């Protein structure tokens, strides 16, 4: 390397060839310089790491994280206010001094308690016990699969009455569930377990009784659900036979009622059709009557009009005859003759002799047309 190209100063790698040659023709690996930090630079780094370690330890020892679906109740073991604290801690980080305080957590979301003889993979995700063995009002037994859905509403009451952790199930739900369910559902007769409305009514009674016992302990039951029930084989066979017989009776009753209703329907249909026919006939009769009245009115008016016309024509003829018989009839004839002669430019008549005609002699003309007696033909 040329020292002048580097401004006259040598770098740490200037005397080390990048590719040197060893004996045997193998490449020579360059020797890297020592890059260790000085002692003064290593002390702050170690101090920062120590602080981080202490912070993690303090975080894990002094702070407790309460999840969004949890409550927190603090218990003071050593100090002035020893015992369970009434304050309910919500979601977040909270200071807890190790050896002096303990934070107990409880779930705030819905909890499921199953009572079944046939657990499934889903059932095993929750707490479950065997099905409730209930004696019915008529002395038989039935196994009932139930689901209790509940929640913790007051964690302070829970921890002070039944204890921390899952004691709300062991000391709260489990000791009360089956006795109360037997009390509520045991009043149902064996055959009436098929009556869903009655089952729902009694499960509501069971829910009320459970809450009377569990509400003072900070637990509230939201739902009591009957999912399945099973009789012994003999009772099941007898009930099914009786139910089939009852269903046959109900079927016959329903068919009889259906036949009665069908007869009523046929009667109503027949009455309706007869009523329609009567109304149609009444309408047709009304139409014929009105058409007859119309035709009579038209004929009457036409006859009256014809009569008036005839009377007018007769009166005209009568008046005309009277006029022709009167004193002015001769003049009327003359006027008519004048109308006959109107339009004639020339007429040649013989004016002398016995057949001579003088058109200016009106008297002679009247006699000629026999308007007056003694006229000529």
Instruction: Please compute, for residue 321, the number of CA atoms within 13 A of its CA located in the half-sphere on the CB side.
Output: 5
pLDDT for 288-311, tens place per residue?
999 999 999 999 999 999 889 988
pLDDT at 142 > cutoff 90: no
Nearest CA-CA partner of 200 in 173, 231, 230, 224: 224
Domain ranges of the chain: 111-231, 329-368
Per-residue pLDDT at 6 exceeds 50: no
∠ CA 95-97-103 to the nearest 5 degrees?
65
Taking the C-alpha atoms of residue 302 and residue 175, their distance in angstroms, rounded to an integer, is: 109
Structure-model confidence comparison of residues 55 and 46, the more confident one: 46
pLDDT given at position 205 = 94
Q: What would the pLDDT profile of 268-284 be if each residue is shown by its tens digit? A: 999 999 999 999 999 99
Q: What is the largest CA-CA distance in the chain?
A: 196
**For domain 111-231, which architecture applies?**
2-Layer Sandwich (3.30)
pLDDT of res. 110: 93
Given a cut of 80, is residue 260 above it in pLDDT? Answer: yes
Check pLDDT > 80 for residue 324.
no
Count Cβ atoms within 10 A of the Cβ of residue 337 and give its class: 0-12 exposed, 13-18 middle, 19 or more buried: middle
Q: Give 169-204 pLDDT, tens digit per residue.
A: 999 999 999 999 999 998 988 878 888 899 999 999
**Would you say residue 150 has pLDDT above 90?**
yes
Q: Could you tell me which residue, 106 or 371, shows the higher pLDDT?
A: 106
Please check the confidence at residue 3 and state whether its pLDDT lies above 90.
no
Better pLDDT: 374 or 69 = 69
Q: Which residues of 96-128 are buried (b: 16+ CB within 10 A; e: fewer)?
A: beeeebbbbbbebeebbbbbbeeeeeeeeeebb
Asked if pLDDT for residue 45 goes beyond 80, the answer is no
pLDDT of residue 372: 55
Cα–Cα distances in angstroms (integers) from residue 285 to residues 8, 186, 295, in the given order: 139, 74, 15
pLDDT, mean of residues 325-337: 67
Determine phi and psi for 252, rounding to 5 degrees.
Answer: -65, -40
What is residue 371's predicted lDDT score, i.e. its pLDDT? 57
Q: Residue 217: its pLDDT value, please?
A: 94
Round to whole Å and give the CA distance between 328 and 280: 70
Which one is predicted more confidently, 22 or 313? 313
pLDDT band at 212 (very low <50, low <70, confident <90, very high): very high
Task: Output the pLDDT for position 375.
Answer: 45
Q: How many CB atoms lie within 10 A of CB 206?
A: 22
pTM across the whole model: 0.51
């Amino acid at each position: 390397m040329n020292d002048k190209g580097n401004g006259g100063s040598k770098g740490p790698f200037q005397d080390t060839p990048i590719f040197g040659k060893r004996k045997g023709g193998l490449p020579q690996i360059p020797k890297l310089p020592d890059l260790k930090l000085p002692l003064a630079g290593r002390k702050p780094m170690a101090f920062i790491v120590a602080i981080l370690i202490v912070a993690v330890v303090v975080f894990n020892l002094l702070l407790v994280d309460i999840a969004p679906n949890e409550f927190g109740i603090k218990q003071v073991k050593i100090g002035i206010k020893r015992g369970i604290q009434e304050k309910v801690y919500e979601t977040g980080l909270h200071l807890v001094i190790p050896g002096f305080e303990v934070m107990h957590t409880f779930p705030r979301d819905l909890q499921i308690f199953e009572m079944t003889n046939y657990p499934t993979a889903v059932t095993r995700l929750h707490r479950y016990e065997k099905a409730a063995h209930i004696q019915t009002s008529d002395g038989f037994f039935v196994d009932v699969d139930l689901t209790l859905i509940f929640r913790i509403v007051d964690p302070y009451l829970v921890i002070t009455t039944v204890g921390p952790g899952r004691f709300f199930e062991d000391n709260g739900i489990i000791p009360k569930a089956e006795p109360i369910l037997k009390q509520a559902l045991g009043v149902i007769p064996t055959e009436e377990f098929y009556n869903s409305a009655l089952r729902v009514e009694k499960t509501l009674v069971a829910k009320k009784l459970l809450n009377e016992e569990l509400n003072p302990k900070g637990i509230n039951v939201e739902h009591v659900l009957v999912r399945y029930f099973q009789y012994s084989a003999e009772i099941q066979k007898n009930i099914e036979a009786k139910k089939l017989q009852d269903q046959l009776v109900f079927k016959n009753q329903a068919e009889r009622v259906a036949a009665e209703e069908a007869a009523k329907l046929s009667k109503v249909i027949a009455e309706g059709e007869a009523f329609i026919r009567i109304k149609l006939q009444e309408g047709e009769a009304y139409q014929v009557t009105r058409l007859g009245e119309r035709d009579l009115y038209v004929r009457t008016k036409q006859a009256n009009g014809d009569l008036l016309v005839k009377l007018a024509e007769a009166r005209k003829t009568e008046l005309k005859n009277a006029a022709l018989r009167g004193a002015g009839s001769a003049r009327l004839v003359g006027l008519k003759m004048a109308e006959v002669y109107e339009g004639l430019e020339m007429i040649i008549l013989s004016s002398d002799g016995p057949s001579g005609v003088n058109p200016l002699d009106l008297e002679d003309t009247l006699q000629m047309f026999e308007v007056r007696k003694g006229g000529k033909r």
